[in-house]
Every structure is written in structure tokens, then in C-alpha cells.
Structure 1
């Protein structure tokens, strides 16, 4: 049996088995729709088990509330303002240093099952040794999907019913890997359309579902224009309470479908013995509006229902079992933390922070501030387009750059050409009272504006020392883009012939 020497922080250890990594990523899963994050009735016992046996990050924020920008930030550990991907169809070249290719270069067998929303499609085979890529969008051509808030039963034999199949693929890959592996399953669920097969569709009684407080109590005149435009285009202004209850009940069924699939994977890890040498990360790319502020799906806005994500890491030795990391953390911190656990240096292109030392010291203070960014580089649509009806947040919904900062109990969301928002979580956790124009909080607004400006200016800042390892990382990203399209024949900077 092979011995592998691994280093984690200051600790070096010899293990009898190679260390594997399993990543489980549901799409558009709100943190507060898991029992371990406080949901009272959803009953996610398998994901809860991961939290009980690992560390749960209680205030982890995604770098963008849209699919691809978030996933690119996760995999490359870079901010949106640097990698430049700003909508959910964006992709990035795997030549940019990332988790998958870093592990592959160390001899890991790599497998991805489900949604890509990350790497350029013509290069997927260079990243993944085994892949079953399934990007289903919003089920746009399903005959039962007529409105953005349509909720319906998914036929068990329908081509869109993929969660069970992707679970099978992941289990088979891990069982047959033969060497250290990275397995990443990217579920479509609980992404819209709001649909799942039985028994999950009928698991929750819509009549017992509570309507979110913000469905009734929001002020459209103090929210960004984009919100009201999306309400009109998505026809959510016509959604009844009963229809929304059906939506939420179905979304909960989708979450339970994922949870049962997680249970199948955990059972396989236990029965095969792989649990003894496999790290598990469970996280979502972003959240879902689900009726909050009378909206559905997502858009380039920064409410907690969209930007606060579940993030759980389980150590094979059950270290930190039941720990709750209460401080602010960012999605970009997850990959450096995982690489640290695997004894692999993070590429200097990555800007996230490893939390291993803090976990070892039980220091859960986290970061002073976190940021999130979204919105395409064009003016915000401030008025609805007459006659336009959208089932998903397609153009013009995704236009209008914005950025958010949270510090302590305050959150500031700023937009280039849209109404800005300022919320105080200490007395307004549902983000219902916008203080941006309130002179009483002008000093708070000014301070957070300065902090946000500094954070956005600093997205390329890396504590990598003066010298750059140009042999291993030819592009000095402190001065250059993450990827240069053409070689630099001068030999002065960047990628050379």
C-alpha cells in the first residue's frame, strides 16, 4: 500500500491512503432551506449529517449571485472584478490556474458530473478524465414550464430528471478511480423550473407553507429599478399566494431530492471505506429569491437569500465535527482551504484565504468585510419592455453593474446607475428597510462606500512577495489579466514564446 506525505498548515503526516476530494454542489440552493442552517421543517438529515461531522460556515458569501461568475470565482479563487465573468453563461479557460487542473497536475483522477457553467466547453476534456456534462438551463422547452413561477411534477423517465443519474455517475467514478480523485457533482436541483419527480413533489403540503414576509412588505420605490422590471417581465406581479406556496413546496421537494442523493453518496463512502480518506465539500453557487420581495429566480442584486450560501467541509478524521464558523467568509476561500488540507500549495494567482489555521485554533472571527459583484457592462433597464415575458432572468435582467460589501451588521449594495441599498441586520435581518437615503446613517454609508471602493480596487492584490514564479506561472497576474490571448514575445511581462 502506498504512503502519501501530506502537509496541513504546520502539521505533516503520513497516511496509508491517498487523500481524495468530493465536491457536492446543488444549483441555486438557499442556505436557509437546510435544517442545519435553521429551516424548521425541511428535514435535510443527510446534509445535516455532514454539518454534524464537519465544520459549517455560517456566514459564507458567494462572489456573485449568478451561476457561472460564482463558479469561476470558486474554482480559480479570484474575484469577479478580476476574472471578468459577469453572467450565468460565462466560461473561463482552464489555462487559468484552478482547483481541478491543480489537482490533475498532482496525479489526481478528475471527474465532473452535471452542470459545467465554468470552463470553456471545447476544453472540458483537457480538465476532466471522466465527464457527464449536463446543462439544462431552466427546462425552457418543457411543455409544463409556461411562466417563471411554474411548478409541476417532473416525469420520472423524463430526460430532465438527472439528479439520480448524476449521483450514480459520481458513485461509480469514485468506486473505480484507482488513484487519488477529485469528484465533483453539480446538480441542477433545486434550480428552476420548480419541478421534481414523486415522491418529492408531494412531500410538502403547499397549504402549510408560509409566505415570506418580504413578499408583502417591500417598498418598490426604495429598491433598485431592476427589481420592478424583473417582476413585470417574469409576471411575478400576477403570481397568487397559492401559486407561490406551490413553488416553495416544490422547491423544498427538490432540496430533499438532493439530500437523499447526498445520503446515497455518503452511504457508498462508508461502505467502501473511502470515507476514511475523502474530504467532502458541500456548497451552493448562490441562492434563490423564492418569493422574497415578490420575485423568483435570481438577478444581479445582493440580498442574503441570493448571496449567503451553505458551505460545509467534512474532514475524513472528523476533525472540527459540529464546529460552526460564525465569522464572515467568502466563496473564494474554499479552494485554498481545501488545497491546504490536501497538502498542496495554492497557485499564487489565487487570492482566497485558507481557514485551516483558524480552525485549528478555534478562531472563528473570519474576515472584517466580504464583497460580491454582478451585472453586465451595460445600462440597467429601468422600465419594463412592453409585452416582454421572461421565464428566466435573461436580457435585459442581467444588465447594470453592481457590488456589495458587508461589514459587521451592515450591508451596502451599490450600482452604477441604479438605486443603492443600505441595510442593518441587527434590527432588519430580512432587508426590508433601506437606509441609503436616511441622513441619520450618512456616516455609515460614507464609511462603507470607502471600504467598498478599496475592496474593488484591491481585487488583484496578492501577498505573493516581490518575486513571481514565472517558470510555473508564466503570467504575472499582479500586472496582467488572468489569461493573455497572445504570447508576449518581448520577454518583459506575461506569457512568452
Structure 2
């Protein structure tokens, strides 16, 4: 018998999946007009098939530029979709209530549209309905108790059946909004059917459908995909990466059942650009979300966009802040929450875990992509007992600490501290990791096993950047490009059918955070996405796992000048063949007035041998001028090829500004 290989196992699994999907396509083509292959997807969003041809009536026809108010004062924000896709008369929108954003189809009465395609026995329709109180109040309407009627009608073979009927009374201005969620099971099989969605009532009513989707049984079911980003997590503070403290038993256990990448680099030392890179597989210079005022361009596809059009329901549970919807993260997601924990909640990881687990229990039978993010290891260090005292010495000065606050804001990041205070800070940071590992990773893995999802799922654990503890003269993150800021964990646990002998495998070669997206696409065998993979900066990790990659990878990292009014200069790093080149722009004169303690005097160029000098203590720039020149020319070539994009600006909400101000990021 030939030796086992992950490649052959995955190829066999892909062949089986493609065979079954292919057979379903044959049946679908025979039954549906035009043989549209999209009808074979296990999950179909009605909004994705909305066109002028299947919208039969709407008061918004010809009023695309007129504002239709779906807002509730102090509670919601509504943005029209800016994605480059068909959006007839502006009906498809994003609707945000509190910290939860969903996609809606605006349906002020009388609105009527339909979805046309085959209906399979065992399918179900999931949707919500809602109505917002008029800006002028109910008195502006003709009826004393005006109502909106919502109907879903199934039409096939000249037959008609009402599947859903409900009336919602328009809420008063004090109530703001009324909405509910519903599920209708379909026992009918119809090769050619129409699902009609209609609203009736006063035309002044701001009524809407919440993301109606048709879910059909899929054989085999699509693999669940779970991507976990633990903010500010250094790889070298995890047990599976050799750390002496027991900070991560649950992550260590996942690593034993998956693949651990020991040399992983983030593209930026702070949250916003690094997470955009994670979800787009683009370096910062290509996606161009460089500062707190930048927003992801709608022309750039994300991992959620890709999985969405391949039949996945996409949900995200995040800590907000620099993962707020204002930065464009919610594109492609059916559900996006940015109100879970933030950086100031002592139990932020617990909050995001509980929200994610509740959603998992309700959606375990859907084909889903779940993105989870927590700020828990980020300062302030104040996780609950007994975790926060786990690693403290008896002489510890602090049981919790807002490090940036203690330093006096960003002005104090270069302040030297006594050794005992540094050890105290690191112990508190390690406690945050342990708490996150227990309440998020541990609880999540336990629940996945209880729901019979663990063995079927592709699970990825990573981070966006690390944290500095004065190794190179500064605290926190966002200013330097040394390994304590850029080296992050990456653990991938494959579904059991494809894991085989890769369990516990350790990859020593350099990889990048931007490699996550193409790895997911490659593993799932999404052949229709080949063109997108030619436009990203990352590469699939599967050839490396299979031992078939011959070329070495390089990584690029950068931070723009004066991000968050920090008075910090622009810096760029190139990591290649065991070396790191860092190009530093000088501090401006006003920076020396801004900082309470003088910043270190850095040379314009730094070059380190990461193999012989992993702590980056000896600058070889003067000793290896030829290598420096070659590396700088390579950087210039990369930036010269950067894609030209129209920069999009983010509109920071007052709440987000308050969060950033409290963190010391803005004044």
C-alpha cells in the first residue's frame, strides 16, 4: 500500500464532493431554466438574485437618491451597500441595531419581489421582518394603529400557497423598531417555483425583510470554517511555541491535532491594517487601509465574500473598535457584531465566546463560516480572578493594570520601568492569555464536540500582532517592526477526513498572515475562485504542508506615519531568507516635544540575521551594504507595483472615538 499523504486524502475528498455536486448539477440543469449552477448551492440569499426583472412593485422605484429612513434614534445606523453588485433601486442595505449589523431588503409598502428556482424537499426559508417608526411619529399616518402585512407565497404548477402571513404594528417613536425572525419548512419539491415576498400597508412605513435565505440539504454538507483571531497575542507566549508558563493548554491541544506554523509574520504591528490583510490576503500597501481614517475599498473581495457566494452563511462576533463595521469588515457577512467586550471589559473573551456559542447552537445545521475576534490580551490587563493572579509573584505591585494609562498615554511608551514592574506586567499579560484560552478556546472546542462539529470543521487560530515589553525600548505595539510585534501564532486543525498524519505537524518555514485566505480557498477546492487567487499577495499553505513547496516565502510589514496622531514615523520591514531589513523614516522635531521620554535614535536602515540573532540586537546594515541595497531595490519594486485604488475614508462614530480616546490612541 502506498504511504499516506494529506494531498491524496484531500484530493479524494474533493473528488467525492465534486462528484456529488456534479450529479446534483445534472439534476438541477434538467429542472431549472437555463441550468443556472447557482441553484445547486445549499444556501441561497434572495438578495443575491434580486434584479429589476423580479421586483414587481416598490415605492422606491425612481427614488434611489431619496432617503428612506430606517434609523432608530440612538440605536441604529443604516448604510446603503457600496459593494459593486446589482442593487436595484437601492433596496439591498445594511441595517445596524446596537452592535449587530445585518443585510436587509427595504420593502416600504407596497413592495413585491420574488425568487425563482427549484425547491427541494427538506428545504427551509429563514428570514426576519421589521418596521421602524416614522420620523414624524404615527400621527403622520392615516390609520390610528397602522400595520404592515408581510406575506411569503409559494407558486408552482399554477398553484399558489401562502407560507407565511404576519402583521406588524408600526412602533411608536419611543419604541423605535419592531422586528422578529421566522423559519418556514418546505415539504414540497418543485423543479420550477417562485417564492413571492410582499408587504402591504401605509406607504410611509419603513418596513423591511431581514436577509431571507433558502437552505437546502447538501450532500455532503459543506465543511464548517471557524477563524479565531486573538488580538495582541505573541506566539512566544504560548506553550505550544515553547513558552515556559502554562498559558495555553487548550490551544496546545488543538495544535496537537492540527498543524502549527512556527514562523508566522503579521503585515502590520496594529489591529486595523493587519485584520484587513487577514480577510483580503493583501499587504497593507495593496489594500491601503493604513490609518484610523481609512476604510476597505468595495472593489476588494474578502474571505466572507468568497465563502458567501459558495453557499456559506457568514457570521462574525468581534470586539469592535478597529474591527467596527465602519471600516468595511461586514462586507460579505450575513451577521456582524462589533459590540462584544471591546478592550475594556474584564470578561471580553467570555462575552464573545458566549455570543458565538449561542449562535453555533442555533445554526449548527447550516453551512457556515464563523469569524471570532477578542481583544482580551490587549491592555488593560484586568481579567477576572483566579486567572489574573495565576502568574503573579508575592511581591507583585499590581493585580491589574492599564499599561498605557500608567505610562501617561502614547506619550509615555518609551518610559523605562524597573525589572520588577516589567515582570509584573508580563505576568498580567500571560494571565489574559490563560483566561482567553480557558473561556474562549476551551469552551468553543467543547461545544463543537458536543454539537458533532469539531471533527468536521476547519479551525484556524491566529492573531493580528504581538506586544512589546521594552525589548527594544518601547511598550505596547504599533510603533516597531521587531519580532515581538510581528511574530504571531497560526494553528490550523483540518477536518478529520483530511487530517491524517499531519496531526501535530510543525512547519518551520516562514509563512504570513496573508496566506490564510488562499489556504481556505485551496482546501475547499473552490475552483471558481482561481482568478481571485491570482490577485492576492498570499499563497496557499497546502503545498508546504504536503512538503511540495520549493520556493521560500518572504514577508513584508509596515506602519504608516503618525497613525492615531502618534508622532511616530513610517517604518517598513522585509523578512526574507532568515534576514530582516527595516527602513526607518526619522522622527519629526515635534515628536521630541510630544513624547515624555525621548524615543530611541534609530538608524535609517537596520539589518538582522534572524537565525544567528533572533533577539535582533546586532544591526548588520553597515557590514552588508550589498544585501541592504538589493533589499531596498526589491522593496521599491514591490511598492511600484502597488494597485492604484480610490482611498475610502471611514466615518468614525462618536462611540468609536470615545473608545479610542479612552485607550489613549486619540486626544
| Superposition TM-score tier, normalisation by shorter sequence | 0.7 to 0.9
**What are the Cα deviations for residues 396-424 of structure 1, in whole angstroms up to 9, with x where unaligned?**
24x42221111222211002446321111
Which aligned pairs between 1:138-177 and structure 2 lie closer than 5 A? Answer: 139=344, 159-177=345-363
Q: Post-superposition shift, 1:90?
A: 4.2
Select 1:45's aligned residue among 246, 249, 252: 249
Quickly say closer, same or farther: Cα 1:232–1:84, change in 2 above 3 A. Answer: closer
Shift of 1:482: 7.3
Report if aligned partners of 1:92, 1:119 keep a CA contact under 8 Å in 2.
no
1:312 aligns with 2:491: yes
For the aligned residue pairs, the C-alpha RMSD in angstroms reads 3.0
Equivalent position to 1:452, from 629, 635, 643: 635
1:340-380 Cα deviation digits (max 9, x unpaired): 112222525323111213323x246663422111123x6xx
Partner residue of 1:71 out of 275, 293, 304: 275
- Quickly say closer, same or farther: Cα 1:424–1:290, change in 2 above 3 A: same
Q: CA deviation at 1:126?
A: 5.4
Matched, 1:257 2:444: no
CA change 1:370–1:122 in 2 (3 A) is: closer
- Partner of 2:16, secondary structure, is strand
User: Which one of the candidate residues 258, 262, 269 is aligned to 2:448?
Assistant: 269
Relative contact order, CA 8 A, sep 6+: which one is greater? 1
Quick one: structure 1 residues 292 and 394, their matched pair in 2 at CA, closer, same or farther if it must change by over 3 Å? farther
Flag the 1:400–1:12 CA change in 2: closer, same or farther, 3 A. farther
Q: Secondary structure at the match of 2:503?
A: coil
Aligned to 1:367: 552
Partner of 2:426: 248
How many Å apart are 1:60 and its aligned residue? Answer: 1.3
Query: Which residues in structure 2 correspond to 1:188-337 (within 5 Å)?
Result: 188-206=375-393, 233-234=411-412, 236-260=414-438, 261-317=440-496, 318-319=499-500, 320-337=502-519
2:343/2:376 contact within 8 Å kept: no
What secondary structure, in the 3-state scheme, does the structure 2 residue paired with 1:182 have?
A: strand
Pick aligned residue for 1:97 from 281, 284, 301: 301
Give the Cα–Cα distance (whole angstroms) in 2 for the partners of residues 189 and 270 of structure 1.
24
User: What corresponds to 1:414 in structure 2?
Assistant: 583
Judging by fraction of residues, say which structure has more strand.
2
Q: Which runs of 5+ in 2 are unaligned?
A: 1-8, 18-218, 397-406, 588-602, 650-667
118-127 or 70-79, which moves further after superposition?
Answer: 118-127
* SS in structure 2 at match of 1:201: helix
1:102 to partner: Cα distance: 1.6
Distance of 2:318 and 2:328 partners within structure 1: 16
Matched, 1:341 2:546: no
1:42 to 1:395, Cα distance in 2 relative to 1, 3 A: farther
Whole-Å separation in 2 of the counterparts to 1:43 and 1:364: 33
Query: Pairwise mapping of residues 101-116 of structure 1 onto structure 2 (< 5 A)?
Result: 101-116=305-320
Larger radius of gyration: 2
CA contact (8 A) 1:8 1:356 kept: no
Q: Aligned partners of 1:243, 1:165: CA distance in 2, in Å?
A: 30
Provide TM-score, normalisation by structure 2.
Answer: 0.56
Q: Taking structure 1 as the reference length, what is the TM-score of the superposition?
A: 0.74
Aligned length: 404
Task: Give the counterpart of 1:128 among 307, 315, 333.
Answer: 333
Pick one of 367, 382, 396 that aligns with 2:566.
Answer: 396
- Residues 18, 277 of structure 1: 8 Å contact kept: no
